[in-house]
């Protein structure tokens, strides 16, 4: 069984590497020399309790994580998983904002070029289904597929609303189109129950 000094040495090394930090960079943050960090990582000496607390705070782990061999790897894995998920969320949100940006640009350009028209606001109506399609794609690839049913429902109703509003612009009402939405919603609900995972 590893002694505590060796465990601390291994954990400091793992945390430093996981955070893409050199011994010199860690030393600068702790106001120590890189030779001292090297000694800690070779288990030739160990930091005192105050420095251990500082190291734990620096890497966002508990003190207990630093002195136990089984905790640090799990913590590193969980942290990386959270960072990855955060990055994927960021990519998804940026992608979803693109249709709105395009709609704003189209609104501005159209307003400048043709001042007598009033259809520019329709760009924002058309952007919504596109945003939901992007959300559906990213959710299917990276996130919880069970949420797809909600996104598909929102997408269906937004498409029907877009068609209805477009016809209203030309003074034609097609309210009955929402009957398709009711039928579609029933299908989506039934399909969600069919694909519901069975608990063992």
Whether residues 48 and 147 fall in one domain: no
20, 37, 69 - which closes a domain: 69
Kindly state whether residues 109 and 170 are assigned to the same domain: yes
Residues 64 and 96 in one domain: no
Number of domains making up the chain: 2
Q: What are the b/e assignments for 106-142, b being 16+ CB within 10 Å?
A: bbeeeeeeeeeeeeeebbebbbbbbbbbbbbebbeee
Task: Indicate the burial class of 7 (C-beta count within 10 angstroms; 0-12, 13-18, 19 or more).
Answer: buried
**Residue ranges of the chain whose pLDDT lies below 70:** 1-2, 69-86, 116-117, 195-200
Residue 159 belongs to domain spanning:
85-194
Q: Are residues 89 and 62 in the same domain?
A: no
What pLDDT shows up at residue 196?
A: 57
Q: How many CB atoms lie within 10 A of CB 55?
A: 22
According to DSSP, residue 198 is labeled: P
Single residue among 43, 69, 95 that ends a domain in this structure = 69
Assess if residue 138 is contained within a domain.
yes
The per-residue pLDDT for 1 is: 39
Q: Phi and psi (nearest 5°) for 45? A: -155, 170
> 110 and 138: one domain?
yes
- Same domain as 91, residue 59: no
pLDDT at position 61, please? 81
**Cβ distance 152 to 187 under 8 Å?**
no
Provide the whole-model pTM. 0.56
Cα–Cα nearest to 164, from 128, 189, 110? 128
């Amino acid at each position: 069984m590893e002694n505590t000094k060796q465990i601390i040495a291994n954990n400091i090394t793992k945390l430093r590497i996981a955070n893409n930090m050199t011994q010199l960079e860690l030393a600068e943050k702790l106001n120590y020399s890189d030779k001292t960090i090297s000694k800690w990582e070779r288990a030739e000496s160990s930091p005192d309790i105050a420095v251990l607390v500082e190291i734990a705070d620096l890497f966002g782990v508990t003190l207990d994580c630093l002195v136990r061999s089984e905790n640090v790897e799990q913590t590193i894995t969980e942290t990386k998983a959270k960072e990855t998920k955060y990055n994927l969320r960021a990519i998804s949100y940026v992608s979803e904002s693109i249709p709105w940006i395009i709609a704003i640009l189209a609104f501005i350009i159209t307003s400048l070029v043709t001042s007598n028209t009033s259809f520019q606001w329709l760009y924002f109506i058309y952007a919504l289904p596109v945003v939901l399609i992007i959300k559906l794609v990213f959710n299917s690839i990276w996130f919880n597929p069970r949420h797809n049913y909600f996104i598909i429902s929102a997408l269906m109703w937004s498409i029907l609303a877009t068609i209805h509003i477009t016809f209203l612009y030309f003074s034609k009402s097609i309210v009955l189109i929402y009957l398709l939405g009711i039928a579609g919603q029933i299908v989506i609900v039934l399909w969600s129950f069919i694909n519901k995972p069975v608990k063992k």
